[in-house]
Amino acid sequence: MRMQFHKMHGLGNDFVVIDARDQAITVSPAMASAIADRRTGIGCDQIILIGPGRTTDVSMRIWNADGSEVEACGNATRCVPVLLSRDCTIETAAGILTATLTEGGSTVDMGVPRFGWDEIPLAYPMDTMLMPVGWGGLEHPAAVNIGNPHLVFFIADIDAIPLDSLGPEIEHDPLFPQRINVNVATIFDPSHLRMRTWERGAGLTRACGTGACATFAAGRRLGRLAHKVQLDLPGGTLHLAESQDGHLLMSGPAVHVFSGEADLAYFG
């Protein structure tokens, strides 16, 4: 069976996007991992499967490079209207999202962040805005769920943190029964900050849309950020805003790089 795919990225967070609206395609964890392999597969951070929506324009499923399926991916969501060349509603495991085309990308309503310890989820109750935990000098993070679980550390210098070694240690800590995404951020002023992310199941990536939203949400709840901010990542810049009803709006680039065709049997 031949598989049509699109290579896309949002700020360097790259995807293999499979359009299965007219052709049913089943993706297994092993297949997703094989497709994502940068030496023997197509290569990407995440695999995105676009299908028909039940009450929306389309549906979207997401697998990380290690084959684990996840609920949300902000950068991938921005790619969907670019692929479709129109505004759209998207059914995801994290809920229904609305995406609007903009010049060079799109704006996505990522919904309302959740802060309850059981909504992250954590293994046991604690204050999710000043957590009494730490790893290798990173202490007192905030925890946020914006479709998937995130930990946020506000620190003076994000480049001084060995995120490539601390990231996997924190991700797999027993405190997080569904594992966790790890973000470190430096606030320059209430409307400008910088961030790096260790993504659950993908490792260090050049950008993380849900991580950006989670970091913004934590900063807002702690009273450290304005209702509109510029957030700089290794791959570029996102613009975030909080609406009057508490929804988080994420705006940024999304790029279609090329289209291709592959034999599904090759990936198992």
For residue 236, the SS3 value is: strand
Phi, psi for 34 (deg, rounded to 5): -70, -40
For residue 103, the SS3 value is: coil
Burial of 121 (0-12, 13-18, 19+ CB in 10 A): middle
For residue 264, the SS3 value is: helix
For residue 77, the SS3 value is: helix
Contact 212, 240 (CB under 8 A): yes
Place of tokens 């940068």: 38
Helices (H), the chain: 29-36, 74-84, 163-171, 209-221
Question: How far is 256 from 194, CA to CA, in rounded Å?
Answer: 25
Catalytic residue list: 73, 208
